[in-house]
Amino acid sequence: MRGAVKIMNEDTGEILVVRNEMRAGIEVHIRGTSPGEYRVVRLARQEARRLAALVLYQAEKLGDARLVPAAEARLVGLKSA
């Protein structure tokens, strides 16, 4: 599997990201703890790019100290981002 990215996760098993055979998009394979929990998500190029952007955006927000968690925001009347 040339170009595949494999990430191991102790809780869910493994995550494998590959281009499909026709290079029309990518496939995200997620292995669960049982065979019934195995999932494959197929994404077109634009969908994959949007998902990547959303993940990067949310990861960046994790380090933003200005954001208030939603539960605290409701207590003080603020809007969460």
Q: Does residue 33 lie in a domain region?
A: yes
Q: Number of folded domains in the chain? A: 1
Q: Does residue 81 lie in a domain region?
A: no
Q: Does residue 38 lie in a domain region?
A: yes
* Short-list 36, 31, 32, 33, CA closest to 16: 31
Cα diameter, the chain? 52
Q: Which domain holds residue 62?
A: 5-76
Is 70 exceeded by the pLDDT of residue 5? no
| Banded model confidence at residue 81, pLDDT cuts 50, 70, 90 | very low
SS percent in the chain: helix, strand, coil, step 5? 35, 30, 35
d(CA 18, CA 52): 14
| Banded model confidence at residue 48, pLDDT cuts 50, 70, 90 | very high
pLDDT in tens, 22-46: 878 999 888 877 778 888 899 999 9
Q: Does residue 20 lie in a domain region?
A: yes
In contact, 43 and 28? CB cutoff 8 Å: yes
Is 90 exceeded by the pLDDT of residue 50? yes
Q: Does residue 59 lie in a domain region?
A: yes
d(CA 46, CA 59): 20
